[in-house]
Structure 1
Amino acid sequence: MSKTNILSYLLFMVLLITLIACNGEKVANENNEESMAIETVNNDLSLLTTDLLKEKLENPQYVIVDIRSQAEYNGWKLNDENRGGHIQGAVNFPLNWTKEVDHLEDLLVENGITTDKHVIVYDALGNDVHVMFEVLSNLGYSNVYGYEEGLVTWAIDENLPMESLANYEKLVYPTWVNELIKGNRPNTFDNYDYKIFEVAWGAPVDYNEGHIPGAYYLDTNEIEEEPLWNRKSDQDIEQMLLDYGITYDTTVILYGRDNMAAMRAASIMLYAGVEDVRILDGGYFAWEKAGFEIETESNVPTSVANFGVEVPARLDFIIDTEEAKECLIDENGRLVSIRSWEEHIGETSGYSYINPKGRIEGSVWGYAGTDAYNMEDYRNFDQTMRNYHELASNWADLGITEENQVSFYCGTGWRASEAFFAAYLMGWENISVYDGGWFEWSLDESNPIEVGEPTN
C-alpha cells in the first residue's frame, strides 16, 4: 500500500471514530435529558413531568389513563381546576373500579390498557397514581408511569390540550344531587326551582321501599300510552308537566332503578320545552352506593298553572313515521336502529307483544344490548354512561356522525331515548327520536322492511 493510501485510510478511520463518538454523545445527552424529566419513587414508580407527558400524547405506544371519577373526566370541576375535562386522548378508568369488578384484567384490555403499552396514569393532584401503579404491577404491567403534577396543574396552561363532554352538566353525580337537596347551590345550578323524579313503569313499588329524599314518582304511563306506547298528545304532556309543578325553566333531575325509563322521560320533557333536564348517572344504585340518605315517605308535587312556553317547544326532538321516511330519503339522514343485533337482523322481534321481525329498510344499526330490556353497549358495568368517546367511535364506524341528520328508533322509544340523550350530551344538534319505532312501522304492511345480515 502506498504512503498516500495509508494516510487516506488513517484519515478516514479518524473521521469515522469522531462521528461515532459525537453521535453517542448526542444519544447520551438525549437520554440524560429524558432521565432528568423522570423521577423514580421508591425505585418503582417513575413520575413524568408535564413537558415529557406532552411529548407522549401522540405516541401510539403509550396509553394515558385518567383514574378520576367519570364525572371529573366528563368535565365536572371537583378540585377547582382552571379547566374541566381530561387530557386529550386519555381513557377513563376510575380507581374505584379496581375494587368493584371480578374481571379486572378483561376490563382493562377493553379500555385499551394492555401490557404491551407504556401506561401513564394521572389523577387530580398526583396523590393516587401510586395505588394504580401497584394494581397494574401486580397484573404484570411493566411499563407504568405516573404524572406527578396531576390534571389540576395541566389545566392551568391553556395551550395544553384537553377535552370534555359538551353538555357534561346534564349528567349529574350523587354528591351534586345531595348538595342540591341540602339547600346549597352546586356548580352549574343557577336556578331556584328544581324537581327530582324517580321514573319507572307502573305502580311505585320500588319507590315506596326507598328513594332519594324529596323525589317524586313519575309513572311512564303519564307520558306514553297504548296501544303503540307512543308519547301522549301534546295537551296531555303539558297537563302532566303542570300537575307535577314543572315549568319550562324548572331544573328537572331524573333517575331510575334502570335509567332507561328516565331517558324516555328526558326526551319527552326536552321535546315539550323543559330547558334544563338532567340525568343522575348510574341512577338509584349510584346514589345508594354513595351512601346518601334514603327516604320512604311519598312526596306529592304542587301543581302550577302555566308552563311558560308553547308545548312542544322542541318539535324537532321527536319525529313520527312520515318524517322517518323523509330521513331515509335524505342522503345525509341516518335512521338508527337502537336494538339488539338479533332484533336488527330479524331473528326476534324483541317483545312478546310485537310479532313482525326485522328492521326498517334503509336503517342502520347503532348498537344497544343483549335484548330489548338492556343497553350494555351504552353503559359501564356499574350502569353509568359509557365513555362518550367510545360511543361516538362506535357510531362513526357505522357511518353515523355529528354532521348527519340522525334519528334513533327502537321498539317503542325507551332505548332510542337513551341513545338520543347520549348524543345530546355530546352536543349533537341534528338529533331526534322516531317515536313509533319498529312497533308502529311494522304494523303497516306497506312500509318496507329488511331481514337478515345487512349487505352494505
Structure 2
Amino acid sequence: MDILVSTDWLEGELGKPDLRIVDASLFLPGVPRDPGAEFEAVHIPGAAFLDLPSLADAEDPRPGMLPTDDFMTERCRRLGIDADSRIVVYDNSPTHSAARGWWMMRLYGVGKGAAILDGGLPKWLAEGRPTESGMPPPRPGNAVAKRAVGQVRTKEDLVANLESQAEQVLDARGAARFAGEEKEPRPGMASGHIPGSRNIPSSIFYHADNSMKRGEDLRRLFLDAGTDFDRPIITSCGSGVTAAILLAGLELLGKTDVTLYDGSWSEWGLDPATPKATGPAA
C-alpha cells in the first residue's frame, strides 16, 4: 500500500477480511482528553484501539520507548492482525500520532503493509462517513513482530553525530519549544534543542482538512528549513511521535535514508550531560 490512503479508498475497503484498521490516537501530557474513551464513543467501523500510549517498554524509565518484539507481537495479535493483513492506521489527535503507529507497524514488519489514513478521523467525520461505538472484544491474530535493525537512533548515536555531522537532525517540535522559549510539557526537562539540528514543526505538514501536504508543497517545507536531500537524516521531536511525521513526509518525497531518534527530547532534555542549544537553528 501507499504511505497514505484516502477516506474514499478506505470506505470502499471496509469489511474486507484482510483489512485491519487501528486507532493510534495519543495526546501530549497535560491534555485533558482520553483516547480510549473517545474511541469507545466513536470510531471507524471495524477499527480496533491500538492504545499507543501503552505500547512501550514498561521496563524503560524513558517515556514511550519502543516495546520488545514479544510485547509488540502480543498487542498486534490482540488487535486481530495477521501475517497477511493490510493495516490502516488513523488518529483523532492534534499530534497526528497515526504516523507513529504506522512507523511502528513497518519497523516491526507487521502484516503485509501499513498505511496512514490521510485526514484521519476528523476528515472522516467531516465527510459524514459511517462510524460505530463501543469497545470491540479482542480477536486473535497470528502476526509476528520483529524490529528491523538500523532504523532507530540512540542518544549515543546523536552524541557521536555532534562531532561527525554525518547525518542531519530534523526536529518536529513547535518553533517555541525548539528555540527554548516555551516550557516543555514534562516536568524537570530542559528547554531548547540538540545543537546543529533544524526545526520543521510537524503542524505545518497539514492542510485545513487534516490531510497531508504533497509534492512541491511538502518538499518546500524541508528546503525552507535548510534540508540537504543528498545527506542522511535523523528525525526527532518530544518523544518520538511527531518525528514519524517528518519521516513519512520524506518517504513521500522518495527519501529513504531516514532514521528516527526514539528517545528524542524526552531523553536528551532530561540528561544534564547532553549539550543544549537555544534560539533558532544556526
Q: TM (normalized to structure 2)?
A: 0.86
Report the counterpart of residue 356 of structure 1 in structure 2.
190
Evaluate the alpha carbon distance shift between residue 276 and residue 440 of structure 1 in structure 2; reply closer, same or farther with a 3 A threshold: same
Evaluate the alpha carbon distance shift between residue 182 and residue 175 of structure 1 in structure 2; reply closer, same or farther with a 3 A threshold: farther
Match of 1:217 among 49, 59, 63: 49
Report the counterpart of residue 21 of structure 2 in structure 1.
196
Question: Which amino acid in the other structure matches residue 103 of structure 2?
Answer: S
Report the counterpart of residue 428 of structure 1 in structure 2.
255
Query: Helix, strand or coil: the match of 2:207?
Result: coil
Report the counterpart of residue 175 of structure 1 in structure 2.
8
Question: Which amino acid in the other structure matches residue 271 of structure 1?
Answer: L
1:349 is displaced (CA, Å) by 3.5
1:416 is displaced (CA, Å) by 0.8
Report whether the alignment pairs 1:228 with 2:53. no
Report whether the alignment pairs 1:242 with 2:67. no
Check the 8 A contact 1:328/1:335 in 2, yes or no: no
Query: Helix, strand or coil: the match of 2:269?
Result: helix
Evaluate the alpha carbon distance shift between residue 249 and residue 400 of structure 1 in structure 2; reply closer, same or farther with a 3 A threshold: farther
Q: How many residues align?
A: 270
Match of 2:177 among 323, 343, 356: 343
Once residues 417 and 277 of structure 1 are traced to their aligned partners in structure 2, the CA distance between those partners, rounded to angstroms, is: 14
1:301 is displaced (CA, Å) by 3.9
Once residues 329 and 391 of structure 1 are traced to their aligned partners in structure 2, the CA distance between those partners, rounded to angstroms, is: 30
Evaluate the alpha carbon distance shift between residue 261 and residue 215 of structure 1 in structure 2; reply closer, same or farther with a 3 A threshold: same
Query: Helix, strand or coil: the match of 2:244?
Result: helix
1:347 is displaced (CA, Å) by 1.2
1:234 is displaced (CA, Å) by 3.1
Report the counterpart of residue 156 of structure 2 in structure 1.
322
Q: Which digits, 9 at most, give the CA deviation of each residue in 1:278-336, with x for residues without a partner?
A: 111111121122222111143234223451xx611x32332221222344444441011
1:249 is displaced (CA, Å) by 3.8
Once residues 224 and 179 of structure 2 are traced to their aligned partners in structure 1, the CA distance between those partners, rounded to angstroms, is: 18
Once residues 297 and 446 of structure 1 are traced to their aligned partners in structure 2, the CA distance between those partners, rounded to angstroms, is: 47
Once residues 85 and 229 of structure 2 are traced to their aligned partners in structure 1, the CA distance between those partners, rounded to angstroms, is: 28
Query: Helix, strand or coil: the match of 2:209?
Result: coil
Report whether the alignment pairs 1:263 with 2:95. no
Once residues 66 and 252 of structure 2 are traced to their aligned partners in structure 1, the CA distance between those partners, rounded to angstroms, is: 22
Q: Which digits, 9 at most, give the CA deviation of each residue in 1:116-135, with x for residues without a partner?
A: xxxxxxxxxxxxxxxxxxxx
Evaluate the alpha carbon distance shift between residue 326 and residue 306 of structure 1 in structure 2; reply closer, same or farther with a 3 A threshold: same
Report whether the alignment pairs 1:277 with 2:104. no
Match of 1:390 among 189, 197, 217: 217
1:260 is displaced (CA, Å) by 1.8
Question: Which amino acid in the other structure matches residue 427 of structure 1?
Answer: G
Evaluate the alpha carbon distance shift between residue 260 and residue 306 of structure 1 in structure 2; reply closer, same or farther with a 3 A threshold: closer
CA RMSD of aligned residues (A): 2.3
Q: Which digits, 9 at most, give the CA deviation of each residue in 1:8-53, with x for residues without a partner?
A: xxxxxxxxxxxxxxxxxxxxxxxxxxxxxxxxxxxxxxxxxxxxxx
Report the counterpart of residue 8 of structure 1 in structure 2.
none
Alignment of 1:143-154 (within 5 A): none
Once residues 231 and 97 of structure 2 are traced to their aligned partners in structure 1, the CA distance between those partners, rounded to angstroms, is: 26
Q: Which digits, 9 at most, give the CA deviation of each residue in 1:152-192, with x for residues without a partner?
A: xxxxxxxxxxxxxxx8x221111111111154xxxxxxxx6
1:203 is displaced (CA, Å) by 5.3
Greater RCO, CA 8 A, separation 6+ = 2
Once residues 97 and 171 of structure 2 are traced to their aligned partners in structure 1, the CA distance between those partners, rounded to angstroms, is: 18
Once residues 315 and 261 of structure 1 are traced to their aligned partners in structure 2, the CA distance between those partners, rounded to angstroms, is: 23
Check the 8 A contact 2:62/2:266 in 1, yes or no: no
Check the 8 A contact 1:248/1:273 in 2, yes or no: no
Check the 8 A contact 2:22/2:50 in 1, yes or no: yes
Once residues 175 and 342 of structure 1 are traced to their aligned partners in structure 2, the CA distance between those partners, rounded to angstroms, is: 36
Q: How much identity, in percent, do the aligned residues show?
A: 23
Query: Helix, strand or coil: the match of 1:443?
Result: coil
Gaps of 5+ in 1: 1-166, 184-191, 369-374
Once residues 18 and 84 of structure 2 are traced to their aligned partners in structure 1, the CA distance between those partners, rounded to angstroms, is: 8
Check the 8 A contact 2:82/2:142 in 1, yes or no: no
Evaluate the alpha carbon distance shift between residue 384 and residue 305 of structure 1 in structure 2; reply closer, same or farther with a 3 A threshold: closer
Q: Identify the structure with the greater helix proportion.
A: 1
When Rg is computed on C-alpha atoms for both structures, the one with the higher figure is: 1
1:223 is displaced (CA, Å) by 1.7
Report the counterpart of residue 29 of structure 2 in structure 1.
none
1:352 is displaced (CA, Å) by 4.0
Q: Identify the structure with the greater strand proportion.
A: 1
Question: Which amino acid in the other structure matches residue 231 of structure 1?
Answer: L
Evaluate the alpha carbon distance shift between residue 329 and residue 266 of structure 1 in structure 2; reply closer, same or farther with a 3 A threshold: farther
Report whether the alignment pairs 1:205 with 2:30. no
Once residues 428 and 249 of structure 1 are traced to their aligned partners in structure 2, the CA distance between those partners, rounded to angstroms, is: 26
